Structure 1
Amino acid sequence: MFYGAVVWDPWLIVAQIVCLQCLYYLTLGLFLSLLVGTRVSRMSLVYFFDFAAVTTATVTGWSVIASFVLAAIAGAGYMFYLIERAKRCLDFSATLFIIHLLICIIYGGWPSSITWWVINGTGLAVMDLLGEYLFIKREQREIPIAWHRPNV
């Protein structure tokens, strides 16, 4: 598809958002299981959606923070394969974190922790900038040209 001939397809956009959100939470769950699950007796949704779990006061809180940052890095990789252009990275990253904010509000109320806002803002920036970097690297690759010489 040529870059100027992009057709607006809302079903594709919704499918990409849902897929990216699911992959993000699966990856976050994997990192939380590895980093936090070894430290606590029972895993729960608190570590996903409660702002109080994101804290710098405990080692478990730092493990939650690391899980969120690593999931954002993985999210950039997912965007690289799911989204077509670098120009859409900010849109999809912001949508992912806005949906996460809404789920957190429903689960535990308005996040009043500065640490939660800093970590999610950092996650948004990491996901967007790393995703754009990956797209730009792909777009700057040389186009291979095969030279075919007729057999003489």
Structure 2
Amino acid sequence: MFYGAMVWDPWLILSQIVCLQCLYYVTLGLFMFILVGTRVSRMSLIYFFDYSTLTISTVTGWCVIGSFLLSALAGAFYVFHLVERAKKCLDFAATLYIVHLFICIIYGGWPSSITWWVVSGTGLAVMVFLGEWLCMRREQSEIPLTRYRSNV
């Protein structure tokens, strides 16, 4: 993709948001299965969307917190590959967490736990800063010219 002229393509933006959201939840489900699934008798959506499961008073709560933070770490790589621009990382990561907040409100009510807000804020920060760092490294890398030179 050329980065010169920016063309506003709402379908591309919407598909990137949907793809990022889906990848985030698939990764969250994988980490929940590995970390939380071994500790509970039955996995449920309550671990994804209910703020009361994010607690520091139980080992299962710490596993849920770890799942969310590891998913944010993976989300940075998803942003790096899907968005490819450092200046768009904040927009897409914030959109992901705002959509997650709306789903949590619908599922379990307004998150009144400070732990939920700290974990979500930390996950957002990790996704944004690591995604921007990865994108900036790609944007600032040298363009290899050896393959374009003719053998004269």
Q: Give the TM-score normalised by the residue count of structure 2.
A: 0.95
**Distance in 1 between the 2:93 and 2:103 partners?**
16
Question: Which residue of 1 is the match for residue 100 of structure 2?
Answer: 100
Which residue matches 1:70? 70
Work out the percentage of aligned pairs sharing the same amino acid: 71
- For 1:87, the aligned partner's letter is K
The Cα shift of 1:105 comes to 0.3
Q: Spell out the pairing of 1:45-60 with structure 2 (5 A cutoff).
A: 45-60=45-60
Residue 142 of structure 1 and its aligned partner are, at CA, apart by: 1.7
Tell me the amino acid that sits aligned with residue 73 of structure 2.
Answer: I
Shift of 1:84: 2.9
Question: What is the match of residue 82 of structure 1?
Answer: 82
Which residue of structure 1 aligns with residue 137 of structure 2?
A: 137
- 1:149 Cα shift? 3.8
Spell out the pairing of 1:111-150 with structure 2 (5 A cutoff).
111-146=111-146, 147-150=149-152
| Separation in 2, partners of 1:141, 1:84 | 13
TM-score of the superposition, structure 1-length normalised?
0.95
Which SS does the other structure have where 2:17 is aligned? helix
Segments of 5+ residues of structure 2 without an aligned counterpart are: none
Aligned length: 150
Amino acid at match of 1:94: A
Cα shift at 1:3: 2.7
| CA distance in structure 2 between the aligned counterparts of 1:109 and 1:149, rounded to whole angstroms | 67
Q: Which runs of 5+ in 1 are unaligned?
A: none
